[in-house]
Amino acid sequence: MPESVAHEAGSGVYRARGITKNYGPVAVLRGIDVTLEPGCVHTMMGENGAGKSTLFKVMAGLVRPNGGTLAIDGDAVSFAAPHEAHARGIYLVPQEPALMPELTVAETMFVGQLPTTTGLVKRIDWRAMRSRARAALDTLSLDIDVGALSRSLSIAQQQQIECAKALLRGCRVILFDEPTSPLTTHEVEHLFATMRHLRDEGYTLAFISHRMDEVLEISDHVSVLRDGMLVDSVARPQFDRTRLLSRMVGREMRTIPRRSWSCATDQPALVVKGLAHGSRFADVGFTLHRGEILGLAGLVGAGRTEIAETIFGLRARDSGSVTLAGEDISTLQTHAIIERGLVYAPEDRARHGAVLPMTIAQNVTSGLISRVRSRLGLMDHADEDRIGAETVRRYRVRCAGTDQTLRELSGGNQQKVVFGKWMGLSPSVAILDEPTRGVDVGAKDEIYALIEELAREGMAILVISSEMEELVRLCDRILSVYEGRIVAELSGEAITPERVGRSYLGHAEAQDGVEVAA
C-alpha cells in the first residue's frame, strides 16, 4: 500500500455518460449523463427514489453500473471498490458517515492507509499520523481533537471528518450524499462554509439535497433527476424555483384520477394533539374521522413513520395526547392499543408484518390466536384454515391454498395477507405505512380498492406514502409533514400532484399558494 495515494492533481473534470443501473427488473438509473466541473458545486435534486444516491454510489465505486462510462479528466475509469475511486481522486461523503467508534479520530481518518515507520520493523507512525490528521483538519478550520474517540463525535463532525479524509487521500472530486438532512441550521452553515472553501480551492463538488433554499444558496449548477433520468440541468444564472420544482414533481401535465365519492364522516375516530418527541417531531395534531382516508405526505425521514409508531405505542413521546373513540390511549402499551381497535401495518413488511416461512392461514391468525377455536387448549387447525380461507376470498389473494407459505407469494399478495391479518381484528382505525411498497403495478389497484372498501365500511384510515400518485388517488385529505411538523393541509380539489409536492418540499413553498395548517 502506498504511503499516500495522492495523484498528481488533474483539473478534476468528472464525466458520466449513459449510466444505467438495474436492481432485478427495477431500473433505478436509465442513462444518466452528467459532468462535474472543478471549482463548482453541482447539485442533484429529485424526489425519493429518483436515483440521486445510486448515481453518486456508482460514481464513487460503491455500486457497479450495468452500463455507461465514467471518465476523470478524459481518462476512462471503472471501480471495483471505493478505495479504487479514492485512488483516482473521487470521494463520497456518505449520508451515514462510516464511523470507527472505538478508534481515535486520527486513526479513523487514516483507516486503510496508516503511515508506518521505515526500517526493519514497520510500525505505525502515530506521530506522523496525528500531525497529518491535525493538518488536514486545520485546512478545513475544524476544531476537533484528533486523539478523541470517534464515537464522541456528532454527526456534523463525522461528516467534516469525511471531508478531511477526502483531502488526506488527495481527492479532488468530493460527492456529498444528502449531508444536510441530519444537521441543524448552524451546522449546515458550517458545512456550506467548508464546501465553499473547497470550491474556491478548485475542488470539484457534487451535492444532493431536497431543500430548495439550500440548493439555491450553495449551487453553481443544478441537475434534476426523476425516475432514474436526468430531466433538467441548469447553471446558476438560470435558476428558477418554480421550474425546478415542477421538474422534480414532473407530473404537471398528467392528471391522476381521483375518485368522485367520499364516505368521510364528521365523527372523530382518532384525535392526536400536540404530539412531540425530541428533535424528531413536534406539535403534531390532527383528527381522523370515521370513513375517512387521510394521507401523510412528506420526504423519507420527515418523521411520518416515527409519528405513526408513537401513536401505536412503539415509541416514547415527550408530550401530547392520542384519543381513540373518546378514550385516551397515549399511555397504553401496544397490545392494549390493538385491543381497543387501532392497528398499524408498518412499511417493512418482511420485518414487522409477514412471517415468510409460515403459511397463509398461520399468518392470518397470528394476530388473532385467541379467536381461533380451541379444544382442550389445543388450537383447532380446521378453524384456522377456515379463517385463512375467508381472508383469501375476501382480499382476493392469488394462491394455491391457505397452506402455501408466504414466501411463495408475490409482494402484492403478501401485502393482502398482512391486511387480512390486521383486518381480522376488525379495527376501527388502521394506519398503513407505505401500503404498496414492493407491490407490482397491477396489484396496487387491487390494494387501493381494498382500502376504499374498508373506508366505505366506516374504518378510519391513515395512509403514509412516498408515492405521489397513491396519495392523490386515495386520500380525502392530505397532511404534509416537513422535518417533523405538519406544514400544510390539502383537501378536495386542492389535492393535485404539484401542490402536494410543493407542500412537503419545504416551508418556502407553503407560502406560494398552499394553505398552512393552523
Partner 1 sequence: MSATAAIPVRERAGAARRDPRALVLIGVTVATILLVGLVDHGFMSLQNLRFMVLNCVVLSLLALGQTLVIATRGIDLSVAPVLGLSAMVTGLMAQTGGLPLLGAFGLALAIGVILGTLNGLLVAKLAIPPIITTLGTYSLYSGLIFLYSDGTQVTSVPAAYAALGNGTVLGIVPIPVLVLGAVLAAIWFVIGHSRFGRAILAIGNNQAASYNAGIPVTATQVGAYAVCGVLAALAGLMFVSYTGSATVTTGTGDHMELQSIAVALIGGTAISGGRGPVIGSVLGALFLSVVLTALVFVHVPPIWYSAGEGLMILIAVTAGSRRTA
Tell the residue number behind the cell numbers 479514492, with chain if given.
86
> Based on CB atoms, which residue is closest to partner 1, 102 or 453?
102
Tell me if residue 87 falls in helix, strand or coil: helix
Region near partner 1 per CB under 8 A, out of 106-114, 194-202, 422-430, 507-515? 106-114
Least separation in angstroms between residue 203's CB and partner 1 is: 20
Least separation in angstroms between residue 407's CB and partner 1 is: 22
> Based on CB atoms, which residue is closest to partner 1, 131 or 491?
131
> Based on CB atoms, which residue is closest to partner 1, 104 or 219?
104
Q: Return the C-alpha cell found at 317.
A: 413521546
Region near partner 1 per CB under 8 A, out of 17-25, 118-126, 330-338, 392-400? 118-126
**Amino acid in the structure at residue 298:** G
> Based on CB atoms, which residue is closest to partner 1, 129 or 500?
129
| Interactions with partner 1, residue window 167-226 (CB under 8 A) | 190
Q: Are 83 and 112 in contact (CB under 8 A)?
A: yes
- Long-range contacts formed by 322-325: CB under 8 A, 24+ apart: 322/270, 322/271, 322/272, 322/273, 322/275, 323/268, 323/270, 323/271, 323/272, 323/273, 324/269, 324/270, 324/428, 324/429, 325/269, 325/428
Q: What is the dihedral of CA 238, 241, 247, 251, to 10 degrees?
A: -150
Tell me if residue 382 falls in helix, strand or coil: helix
End-to-end, the C-alpha distance of the chain in Å comes to 61
Tell me if residue 408 falls in helix, strand or coil: helix
Instruction: Spell out the residues 6+ positions from residue 173 whose beta carbon is closer than 8 angstroms to its own.
Output: 12, 14, 36, 72, 89, 90, 91, 203, 204, 205, 206
What mask of x and - would describe binding to partner 1 in positions 127 to 146, judged by CB under 8 A?
---------------xxxx-
| Interactions with partner 1, residue window 143-162 (CB under 8 A) | 143-145, 147-149, 152, 154, 156-157
122 contacts partner 1 (rule: CB under 8 A): yes
Region near partner 1 per CB under 8 A, out of 97-105, 326-334, 390-398, 416-424? 97-105
Least separation in angstroms between residue 159's CB and partner 1 is: 12
81 contacts partner 1 (rule: CB under 8 A): yes
Q: Return the C-alpha cell found at 11.
A: 483539473
Least separation in angstroms between residue 38's CB and partner 1 is: 24
What mask of x and - would describe binding to partner 1 in positions 61 to 80, judged by CB under 8 A?
-x------------------
Tell me if residue 401 falls in helix, strand or coil: coil
**CA atoms of 304 and 266, how far apart (whole Å):** 24
Instruction: Spell out the residues 6+ positions from residue 396 whose beta carbon is closer than 8 angstroms to its own.
Output: 416, 446
Q: Which of 26, 124, 336, 369 binds partner 1 (CB under 8 A)?
A: 124
Q: Which of 47, 73, 107, 385 binds partner 1 (CB under 8 A)?
A: 107
Least separation in angstroms between residue 390's CB and partner 1 is: 41
> Based on CB atoms, which residue is closest to partner 1, 102 or 138?
102
Number of residues lying near partner 1 (CB under 8 A): 37
Least separation in angstroms between residue 160's CB and partner 1 is: 9
Least separation in angstroms between residue 106's CB and partner 1 is: 7
Q: Which of 43, 54, 104, 391 binds partner 1 (CB under 8 A)?
A: 104
b/e per residue 285-294 (b: at least 16 CB within 10 A): bbbbbbbbbb
> Based on CB atoms, which residue is closest to partner 1, 35 or 116?
116
Tell the residue number behind the cell numbers 376504499, with chain if given.
452
Q: Which of 11, 64, 69, 111 binds partner 1 (CB under 8 A)?
A: 111
Strand partners, 294: 462, 477
> Based on CB atoms, which residue is closest to partner 1, 101 or 202?
101
**Amino acid in the structure at residue 495:** I
112 contacts partner 1 (rule: CB under 8 A): yes
Region near partner 1 per CB under 8 A, out of 99-107, 237-245, 254-262, 322-330? 99-107
Region near partner 1 per CB under 8 A, out of 95-103, 214-222, 365-373, 464-472? 95-103
Task: Classify residue 279 by burial, with Cβ atoms within 10 Å: 0-12, 13-18, 19+.
Answer: exposed
**CA atoms of 284 and 294, how far apart (whole Å):** 14
> Based on CB atoms, which residue is closest to partner 1, 57 or 416?
57
**Interaction site with partner 1 (CB under 8 A):** 1, 62, 81-84, 86, 98-104, 106-107, 111-114, 116, 122-124, 126, 142-145, 147-149, 152, 154, 156-157, 190
